[in-house]
């Protein structure tokens, strides 16, 4: 399912001006027939959060929740994983995370717990990364996933710092607990 991927390229990097915790955002692009943008948010402690969407949805506040109807999920996710691998090659201390956004479409909103996207992304990272290089942490209620690099001396400290950081940045996630 994740054997092939699209060719991608880095299109830019922007400093995060006055954004707490966020250092910068690296943008990549690829084409599947449609034009995709992949935003990689770079946080403290070498944590990289991967987000992608169709370029035509860039201004849409629900850009991460919309379906493309391309039937190319495996290849699109594989491309995002390849971007993660390219970052890891440049930064061997990199840790990665994602949120499996819930699907929103006319007359339907998927619950935020254990979303379809979360299940696919989780399967992909376990299949392609395994557990030797990263310690995996998941929050099923919010469909979030964090892979902490095992080269860090204190994985639990990184996990706790990441939890506090994201609770502060995204209080709507913490409020549901």
Please report the DSSP string for 94-156 in residue order. Answer: -EEEEE-PPPEETTEE--SSS-HHHHHHHHHHHHHHTTTSEEEEEETTTTEEEEEETTSS-HH
* Helix or strand run (H / E) with residue 174: helix 171-175
* Between residues 26 and 71, the one the model is more confident about: 26
- pLDDT value at residue 105: 87
Instruction: Give which of 162, 144, 143 is closest to 154, Cα–Cα.
Output: 162
* Between residues 4 and 2, the one the model is more confident about: 4
Confidence band (pLDDT; 50, 70, 90) for 176? Answer: very low
Confidence band (pLDDT; 50, 70, 90) for 130? Answer: confident
For the chain, the structural domain boundaries read: 8-175
pLDDT digits (tens, 9 = 90+) for 26-41: 999 999 989 999 999 9
To the nearest whole number, what is the mean pLDDT of the chain? 89
pTM, two decimal places? 0.90
* pLDDT exceeds 90 at position 55: yes
In this structure, what are the phi and psi dihedrals at residue 60, rounded to the nearest 5 degrees? -80, 125
């Amino acid at each position: 399912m994740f054997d092939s991927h699209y060719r991608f390229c880095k299109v830019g990097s922007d400093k995060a001006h006055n954004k707490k915790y966020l250092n910068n955002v690296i943008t990549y692009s690829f084409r599947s027939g449609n034009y995709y943008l992949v935003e990689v948010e770079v946080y403290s402690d070498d944590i990289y959060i991967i987000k992608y969407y169709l370029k035509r949805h860039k201004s849409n506040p629900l850009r991460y929740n919309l379906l493309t109807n391309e039937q190319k999920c495996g290849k699109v996710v594989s491309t995002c994983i390849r971007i993660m691998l390219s970052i890891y090659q440049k930064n061997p201390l990199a840790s990665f995370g994602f949120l499996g956004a819930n699907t929103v479409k006319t007359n339907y909103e998927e619950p935020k717990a254990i979303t379809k996207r979360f299940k696919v992304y989780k399967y992909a990272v376990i299949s392609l990364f395994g557990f030797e290089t990263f310690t995996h942490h998941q929050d099923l209620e919010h469909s979030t996933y964090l892979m902490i690099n095992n080269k860090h001396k204190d994985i639990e400290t990184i996990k706790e710092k990441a939890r506090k950081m994201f609770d502060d940045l995204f209080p709507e996630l913490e409020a549901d607990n």
